[in-house]
Amino acid sequence: MPESLRDPVFRKYVGAQFVSQAGNASQAFAISLIALSGHGIWALLTAVLLNQLPCIAFSLWGGNIADRYPRRAVLLWTLGIMTAIAVILGGLQFMGSLSLVMLYAMQVLSSAVGGIFSPAEAALVQEFVSPAVLLNAKLINAVAIGGG
């Protein structure tokens, strides 16, 4: 077992990362399916683009926020906002009143908040493990984030 996984707090964090990433992938798949099934391939491509660009644009600003404010507060606020967006999207789709414009707007908002969330999430690892195993912990965290 890698040294960083011997820490029970970090082990729980990595397990939660896999679950979280599975949820993120499910939401992305559902949004893509909604865009494709109702509006065609160009709607799907636009939805994917709108999911990536704001995240890239807000990541630098998110890193600044993660360094200036308590990470726990940044993570809780951003996760709360992303959860609210997911619930609103699900509710609108369930009621049959989700338009393509609304889907795009929610994608942009969710991606922008994700751009703030991601740097804070990545910086959180150093608070769980000792400096001696930090590199190993960052590698395992990268696998958990990318492998969900």
Chain segment 81-130, per-residue pLDDT in tens: 999 999 999 999 999 998 999 999 999 999 999 999 989 888 888 888 88
pTM value? 0.83
Q: Is residue 3 part of a domain?
A: no
Q: Is residue 4 part of a domain?
A: no
Domain carrying residue 33 = 13-146
Round the average pLDDT of the chain to a whole number and report it. 89
Spatial contact of 106 and 54, defined as CB atoms under 8 Å apart: no
Q: Is residue 1 part of a domain?
A: no
> What domain count does the chain have?
1
Q: Is residue 88 part of a domain?
A: yes
Q: Is residue 78 part of a domain?
A: yes
SS3 144: helix
Q: Is residue 134 part of a domain?
A: yes
